[in-house]
Structure 1
Amino acid sequence: MMDCPKNESMWKKESKDYYCRKKEAYHCLLDDGGGSVKRGCVELHRLGKGHCPIFNRYGSIHWIKCNSPECPNTTYISNEVYRYPVCLQRNSTFTSSTIGTPYGISKSSNFTGESTMEHAGLKVGLLLSMIIIGFFIAIVIAVYYRKTSKRNDASVNDDEEMQQLTRQEHNEAVKTVVKKLERTDKVIIHGKLGTGVSNTGKNVIRSFANSNAGWKPEHLHYRDNLEPSLTDGKIVFIDGWFGIWNPNPSEKNKVIRILRIMKEKMLSLKRGTCKIVIGLRTDVYERYQQIFIDAGMVEDPLDLNSARKDTHQEKEKHLNDALLSNSCKRSKCDCKKLNLEDFKKYTAIGDHLKIDILAGNHELISKFLISGDLLQTLVSHFDDLKMKNKQLYGCLMYIVVKGKFRVGDTIDQGIQNTFELELDITEDCFRQCENLGTYTKCLSRSNLVNVEEEPRDSDSHYFVFKHVFLYICAFHSLFRSHPFQVMEHCNIDAVLQIVRPFNSTDGYGDKFCVKADEKTIKFFYENVVECNNELEELINDHPLVVIAVGSRV
């Protein structure tokens, strides 16, 4: 992997390949081991003299004490670290025991004070002064957090699907699963869309590893090569079963095969030396529960729908905090009418996700209050974007077609031509589009699973939708205006997961599906499936293929 740039011009040149949001900036830093380089967009921090910024294993900026004549001799901003090449030299002269967030502030903070922390051999007078100063700073920080705790930022970072997942009931769910893992090696977590299954799983394995020495957490997609990760001292969270956005019925045999491999591998290990946490959507778990039972994976499941005991007051507080953090200056905005009773109209996703979506975009509220259907509200909203904000619509729909957009890639001209002028965008549009962050997040490759085209330690960053529900709604919008183009050119996983025949009655993920007529299905079969013999064999039991083949008889 290339070293970090060591001067301003090289730093600025490299930063142009990264599409950082307003509050973030490009950073190239060493990891906490000092042997590898990581790149990404994170918020700026001010560091004290004698300290170098590093990335911890979760992608947050921490600092480390530097012991060299070339170390920083004054305070500086984290993205100016190129001024001190010693901070960017691999295996440099750092004091590994002195690690922390800058000035003890979390990564979401933007503290601007100056550190004067030195070694323990200071004179007593200076030490007393430092204690007094430290006490004063602690008071300032406490006041700061008391104020910021009243706000709930609706943006999403690499490790958080939704801000509410740091709430008390989520912490209790994590503690419950960790406790289960003390007496079993396999736990299934399931919940409906928007209840935080993925984030619960990731926090469980981190919490378990932090409280049990010698354990290493790892997050994988079920399609990844799982066997090498199922070893002594590993606790693995595996999600994505049957599909990222919605279940694909044709994945059943693949899931059975992978579960069989997992079962055999776990039987070969000594009990208690390897742990597995499986994340599933509740409707998937209920339909295919027997498959997981046969594989010996259902020892002590946790239903997040009931485990997270949200009270009315807790949800009310989340709603009020979310609306406050996205305050509206329009006097006639319907955000003032929004209350928890309105959420009872739409039960397909969790209440906290509904809150984050509506509070984050007040334009949706009036339509939702009328229809009571958040999916159709969002589909209509994406339809309107086509006319109101062509650049934003183009960027979002390009991500729909591709599934994700890798920063630095050129725009596929074939896709643009297929969808006429509606996706008339360039790579710079992803940098220039102000409101893109309302719907998407930019993640490093290390924080994405099931990206088969490049290794996990790649420097690449990808734009993806903030939540799978937003992707599903955007897919609906594009399909409604371009059904044939979507069926032929959209990533095949999305088509197989989200599209169903009009007469589909199996109820399997149907509440999030678009319905295709026989003409559209026939087009898909003739122009996509029949052109790929391997694909046809893999999905011959999919409802779309069954309908297409049946119509020929």
Structure 2
Amino acid sequence: MTIGNIESCPVTKEAWEKRAAERESECGGESVYHCLSDNVGRKWEKCVQQSLIKEGFCPIFTSGGYIDWKSCNLSDPTCPNISYKSDQVYKYSACFGKNTPSEKINIFKEDEDSYIGVVIGIIISILLILAAILASIFIYRRWTGKSKGSEEDGEELTNLLPHGLTDEVVREVYVLNGITALENGDVRSIAVLGKFGNSVSSTSRLILRNYAKRMKWKSHQCRFTDIPDTIEEKTIIFVYGWFGFFNDDLCSIVSVQTACQKLEQMLEKTQSVKVIVGMRSDLLKKYHTYLENHSDLLHTEINLDSENVHKKAKLSKYFKEKIKDPCEDSKCECKELTIQMFRKGKDKDIGLPLKINVIARYHDLVPNYIKDWDLLKALSDHITALVENNEMRFVSEWIKYICLKGKFSRSDQFDEKLVKDVGLEIEKDTFDENDVDMRRYIRMRYSDQQNNVSAEEAQYVFWHPFIYICAFHSLYQKDKDLIMRHCNVDAILQLVRPRGFKTSYIEVSADDHAVNMFNNRLRENNLVEKYKGHPLVKL
């Protein structure tokens, strides 16, 4: 959030903290007060997410509103000689350049010139607003490529967003910031960060697709465990699923470090390849010490957790348009809902964008959701109830099969033994991805869509990991043994914790019987050694 253009920034801890306290009400979430120069030396106060700045570099604000960096003349003793957080830049006066107030009229001076000062302040404010508008238009036109006269490149960003409901609401400014960052020749990778359900994947995919379209590059998507050994020049790659596709699996640190090394080697060997890392902000915070050697890969951040008035307004608008406006029932309980209510439930660990979209897709959840303010419980109960509905029983059985297997693909061998053991009444040929009811829950994996995989080879999964988690909870509550005996091992490692182990909102607890059953299964399949670091696994 832009607070205003000023003449100088505070250069002591006391002055910085005093100024931050004065602006505290205008920051929110994980965004904190910053005062930085821009690329032409002007000073700006803004509320943004902290960034880690490397030794010998200074943070600056770009016209897109995010933090970039520039090198500092190390012969100046006031240049940073260690890595530091961006909101500690006051320690390094060289980063501010000329940083003394001019001897112009002080518009805050309470004397006979105060009236003139106020007038000047108003005029300056108007000029700044006009300048910001003109700058925005310039940046927007530069991004859309209108100066090139290309009709294709000239499409508005909003027209490039998916039609209908996306997985979560995406703010165009984050997409624009990501593209603008990647356009910097010195930036080879960006990290899109956010809490679970805060549009990390949706935002990353839009940056990927639109950057590739603008630059006429190829694009590729993959999980961090599936990074290709080689990649063509002029390709942008989005890597997701870090530390576990559904949740933290507690034993993937080495795999994550290996993936980071692979990406770094890929960038070293190529000239025109760029990388988007989409990662949960809480997992990066948890494991940041293990990734310190890969800070270059994660240096340029697009943080989706920061709050400001514009983001709140966007979410409020989306909430109204997707939940309240389409409902024609004047007595529906959704009429009493407010977005503030969504912020205070038991599900506060789930991002607001995902909450809004889930309620929009499954409007019938509203009464049960209001009862407990627990989206996981409401949707899990909804999935459990499907089996009692004769018209939905077919969909319910496919939900169970895909939850246990983790995915469905026509090219994979259909697990007839599982179908028999679990008592399902489905066959491989009965799967229909175009069925209206099926599409409410299941769709082709996004990376397969992006990579133009055929319908025969494609994998079909739940439209969001949270929907999978709700299906998992539904089955676990009904039959723990079914899950521990038949569910895919990755999901169990990510979502089940042994009794006595602290569980998060999306995790479940397993008693000794369930843990022993799972360990017997691991031993039968020679997997104990592979997962020996997990608290569920007994050596």
TM-score, normalised to structure 1's length? 0.62
Is the aligned partner of 1:494 residue 2:500?
A: no
In the TM superposition, 1:236-275 aligns within 5 A as: 236-269=237-270, 273-275=272-274
Is the aligned partner of 1:289 residue 2:288?
A: yes
Identity over aligned pairs, percent = 26
* Structure 1 counterpart of 2:178: 174
Cα distance change of structure 1 residues 353 and 310 upon mapping to structure 2, 3 Å threshold: farther
Q: CA deviation at 1:368?
A: 1.1
Native 8 Å contact 2:462 2:468 kept in 1: yes
1:532, 1:169 → 2: CA distance? 48
* Structure 2 counterpart of 1:161: 167
* Structure 1 counterpart of 2:342: 343
Specify the code of the residue in structure 2 equivalent to 1:403.
G
1:264, 1:403 → 2: CA distance? 31
* Structure 1 counterpart of 2:506: 512
Native 8 Å contact 1:445 1:459 kept in 2: no
* Structure 2 counterpart of 1:393: 396
Aligned to 1:198, which of 176, 197, 201? Answer: 201
Please give the secondary structure, in 2, of the residue aligned with 1:187: strand
Native 8 Å contact 1:326 1:359 kept in 2: no
Cα distance change of structure 1 residues 263 and 172 upon mapping to structure 2, 3 Å threshold: closer
Native 8 Å contact 1:292 1:298 kept in 2: no
Native 8 Å contact 1:237 1:278 kept in 2: yes
Native 8 Å contact 1:392 1:433 kept in 2: no
* Structure 1 counterpart of 2:69: none
Q: CA deviation at 1:212?
A: 3.5
Q: CA deviation at 1:327?
A: 2.9
Native 8 Å contact 2:221 2:450 kept in 1: no
Native 8 Å contact 2:498 2:536 kept in 1: yes
Aligned to 2:528, which of 531, 536, 542? Answer: 536
Q: CA deviation at 1:186?
A: 2.3
* Structure 1 counterpart of 2:234: 233
2:535, 2:438 → 1: CA distance? 34
Native 8 Å contact 2:324 2:334 kept in 1: no
In the TM superposition, 1:130-529 aligns within 5 A as: 153-154=164-165, 160-162=166-168, 164-165=169-170, 167-175=171-179, 177-178=181-182, 181-212=184-215, 215-229=217-231, 232-269=233-270, 273-295=272-294, 296-306=296-306, 310-323=310-323, 326-329=326-329, 332-344=331-343, 345=345, 346-388=347-389, 389-407=392-410, 412-420=415-423, 423-426=424-427, 427-428=429-430, 430=432, 434-443=436-445, 446-447=448-449, 459-505=456-502, 510-526=504-520, 528-529=521-522
Native 8 Å contact 1:232 1:274 kept in 2: yes
Please give the secondary structure, in 1, of the residue aligned with 2:243: coil
1:279, 1:309 → 2: CA distance? 25
Native 8 Å contact 2:218 2:234 kept in 1: yes
Q: CA deviation at 1:542?
A: 0.7
Q: CA deviation at 1:521?
A: 0.4
Q: CA deviation at 1:192?
A: 1.0
Specify the code of the residue in structure 2 equivalent to 1:289.
H
Q: Deviations over 1:316-348 (max 9, x none)?
A: 21112112674344x542222221122012321
Please give the secondary structure, in 2, of the residue aligned with 1:292: helix
Native 8 Å contact 1:440 1:464 kept in 2: yes
2:174, 2:419 → 1: CA distance? 42
Q: CA deviation at 1:470?
A: 0.8
Q: Deviations over 1:388-423 (max 9, x none)?
A: 342222121111012122258785332223223xx3
1:521, 1:430 → 2: CA distance? 36
1:297, 1:445 → 2: CA distance? 22
Structure 1 vs Structure 2 CA RMSD: 3.4
Native 8 Å contact 1:326 1:360 kept in 2: no
Cα distance change of structure 1 residues 172 and 309 upon mapping to structure 2, 3 Å threshold: farther
Q: CA deviation at 1:457?
A: 6.2
Specify the code of the residue in structure 1 equivalent to 2:202.
N
